[in-house]
Amino acid sequence: MFPNYDAIAAADSAVEEQSATETVEPIAPPAAAPLPAPIDPSARTGAGVAILMAGAGAITGWLVGGGWGAGAGLLLMGAARNGYKARSLWSADRAEAAKRLTMAVAGGAGGGYMAYRAMKGRKGSR
């Protein structure tokens, strides 16, 4: 009924003696991970400008037209940014410029619709 403490102590000492005589192979440290590529400072600046434009568009849209206005502001600022980038890329990379222009047109159309809904909602609430 009670545990046999002498047997437990004998088993523990046998395990300690066995582990003391074994040799353990050293483990090699993991290989160092490759360093990430440096980030182009102009990419950071472009991303910062895009975030500021999106925020300004969303806040202005929200103040003017509520939820629909915020969506319109986001899409229209994104479309403006894509249109500007397409214009600057046109001479260097026409395929990328065409993609940007397509996204600008789609964003402008979506933003225009959302602005229409925001203004329609404002006129209906008067």
Please write the tens of the pLDDT for every residue from 5-50. 677 777 777 666 665 556 667 777 777 878 888 877 777 777 888 8
Please tell me the predicted confidence (pLDDT) of residue 111: 94
Q: How far apart are CA 21 and CA 67, in angstroms?
A: 73
Please tell me the predicted confidence (pLDDT) of residue 15: 63
- Name every residue whose Cβ is closer than 8 Å to that of residue 74 and which is 6 or more positions away in sequence: 54, 57, 58, 61, 111
Is it the case that residue 74 has pLDDT exceeding 90? Answer: yes
Please write the tens of the pLDDT for every residue from 83-122. 999 998 888 989 999 999 999 999 999 999 999 999 888 7
Q: How far apart are CA 105 and CA 98, in angstroms?
A: 10
Q: How far apart are CA 115 and CA 60, in angstroms?
A: 12
Please tell me the predicted confidence (pLDDT) of residue 50: 86
Is it the case that residue 65 has pLDDT exceeding 70? Answer: yes
pTM of the predicted model over 0.85: no
Alpha-carbon distances, residue 20 vs 10, 16, 17, 23 (angstroms): 15, 6, 5, 8
Structure tokens at 9: 């102590």
Please tell me the predicted confidence (pLDDT) of residue 1: 55
**Percent of the chain's residues with pLDDT above 90:** 44
